[in-house]
Amino acid sequence: MKHKVPDFTHYRKLVSRMFWAFLGTILLLSLVFALIIYVLSRLGIDLHSFIFNASWRSLALCIICFVLSATMSYTAVWYYFHPLQELSRAARKIAGGDYSIRLTYTGKVRELAEAFENFNHMAKELDSVEMIRNDFIANISHEFKTPLTSLSGCLMLLQDSSLTEEERDSYITKALFSITKLNEMTDNILRISRLENQQKLDDPVTYRLDEQLREAIVLLEPKWDKKNITFDLDLPEINYTGQRSLLFQVWTNIIGNAIKFSHDGGAVTVKLEESEHHFKVYISDEGIGMTDETISHIFDKFYQADTSRQSQGNGLGLTLCREILSRCSGKIYVTSTPDKGSVFLVSLKKNNS
């Protein structure tokens, strides 16, 4: 639902309503007083004597007028300010951490209705953020615990002096792998946090987009060479203006995933196209593929559908890619078929600045 911002020019209407309510009260009291004077005159009572000599009667009239004025004023104040009191109480509950509170306004004052709607929208968003934060803390605790447990076990085993050289090397390799995974996870978390809180990106630079894609492939050579993966490249010369360092992380993450989930001896295709308003990069593989359920969650933090390969990642790479592209006026799409592979499309606007 789109968040409505109150139009503050309409608050003059609220002031106008209160003025007319006050004026109406004065007129009503005047009519009541005039009616009393008329009745007294019809009864033959000397009004001059009544007003100036019968002080108790005048006092009675004053009391009647006061009661009527107080009643009408209280009604007006209740109508306009009681909802504000409800908002104040609800705001205190929000400050105390209760984000589940919602308010209902049945009056007809437009400004108050918008204030209640905005408050409910704020409470809903805060509740959502709190759930995400709790979920994030639970996930990150679990993700850190796994490599730390593995690292702790390896270090304990390495204290055994009876280990053979081969066993010792194996435990050292596993310990180093756990440390590397922790470093990668920490780096990705810091990058995502930095992007989410960074108000302004670096000034865009112009560079060869096709060369950057080749650089990412060369950087990942140890991984694809180990699996005997071949690359099919269609990279025409294209100059692009944008966030060079950030986009390099996008290519290494997506191409790295294509390598990771490809079968030994498989192939990865990287294709660069130019349209009227966009540059499009297609990265496809012939690997294990994904179901529709997996596709709907792959950009969530720490999501890993392929449990057999959880040791190879931390579920933050694609989250980082999406965050980078959202800041760089880009979009990412994916299509996939189980056991047939996946295709990632990254679309970048031309003349991005």
**Domain tally for the chain?**
3
Inform me whether the pLDDT recorded for 104 exceeds 80: yes
133 is a domain residue: no
CB 281 within 8 A of CB 236: no
264/344 same-domain check: yes
Q: What tens digit of pLDDT does each residue of 188-236 get?
A: 666 666 666 655 667 888 999 999 999 999 988 988 999 999 999 999 9
Which tokens belong to 36? 């009393």
What is the widest separation between alpha-carbon atoms in the chain?
A: 126
Report pLDDT for 158: 86
CB contact at 8 A, 29 and 68 = yes
pLDDT at 243: 85
Same domain, 119 and 148: no
2 in any annotated domain = no
d(CA 196, CA 190): 10
- Of the candidates 99, 127, 155, which is a domain's last residue? 127
| DSSP letter, residue 106 | -
Asked if residue 267 lies in contact with residue 229, where contact means CB atoms within 8 angstroms, the answer is yes
125-174 pLDDT, tens digit per residue, is 787 666 666 656 665 665 667 678 878 888 888 888 888 888 888 888 88
Whole-prediction pTM: 0.51
Query: pLDDT of 26-78, one tens digit each?
Result: 677 677 767 776 776 777 666 556 555 555 555 556 666 666 666 666 666 66
Distances (CA, A) of 287 to 121, 176, 303, 333: 43, 28, 19, 17
HSE-CB of 42 using CA atoms within 13 angstroms: 6
Query: What DSSP line would sit under 167-234, residue for residue?
Result: HHHHHHHHHHHHHHHHHHHHHHHHHHHHHHH-SSPPPPEEEEHHHHHHHHHHHTHHHHHHTT-EEEEE
Phi-psi region of 181 (alpha: psi -120 to 50; beta: other; left: phi over 0): alpha
Q: Position of tokens 């205190």? A: 92
Same domain, 180 and 218: no
Looking at the structure, tell me whether residues 336 and 287 fall in a common domain.
Answer: yes
Confidence bin at 8 (pLDDT 50/70/90): very low
Inside any domain, residue 135:
no
Question: For residue 246, what is the enclosing H or E element?
Answer: helix 244-260
Range of the domain at 270: 205-349
For residue 263, is it within any domain?
yes
212 shares its domain with 345? yes
CATH at residue 185: 1.10.287
> Tell me: the pLDDT tens digits for 177-189?
778 777 766 776 6
**Assigned domain for 136 exists:** no
Residue with the larger pLDDT of the pair 131 and 269? 269
Q: Which residue did the predictor score with more confidence, 271 or 111?
A: 271
Which residues face 282 on adjacent strands?
271, 345
Confidence band for 284, pLDDT divided at 50, 70 and 90: very high
Rounded Cα distance, 58 and 37, in Å: 11
Q: List the Cα angle 9/13/15 in 5-degree steps.
A: 105
Domain boundary at 197, 213, 231, which? 197
Residue 256 shares a structural domain with residue 340 = yes
Residues with Cβ within 8 Å of 146's Cβ and at least 6 positions away in sequence, in order, are: none
Q: Give the H or E element holding residue 345.
A: strand 341-349
Whether pLDDT at 22 is above 60:
yes
- Residues 249, 307, single domain; the answer is yes
In which band, very low, low, confident or very high, does the pLDDT at 79 lie, cut at 50, 70 and 90?
Answer: low
The two three-digit tokens of residue 154, written as one number: 């390896």
**151 and 33 in one domain?**
no
Nearest to 267 by CA among 311, 326, 227, 309: 227
**H or E element at residue 29:** helix 11-42
Residue matched to tokens 């280990």: 163
Final residue in a domain of this structure, among 180, 197, 214: 197
Rg (CA), the chain: 36
**Same structural domain for residues 64 and 165?**
no
Do residues 159 and 33 share a domain?
A: no
pLDDT tens digits, 288-341: 888 888 888 787 765 555 444 444 444 567 888 888 888 888 899 999 988 889
**Residue 74 within a domain:** yes
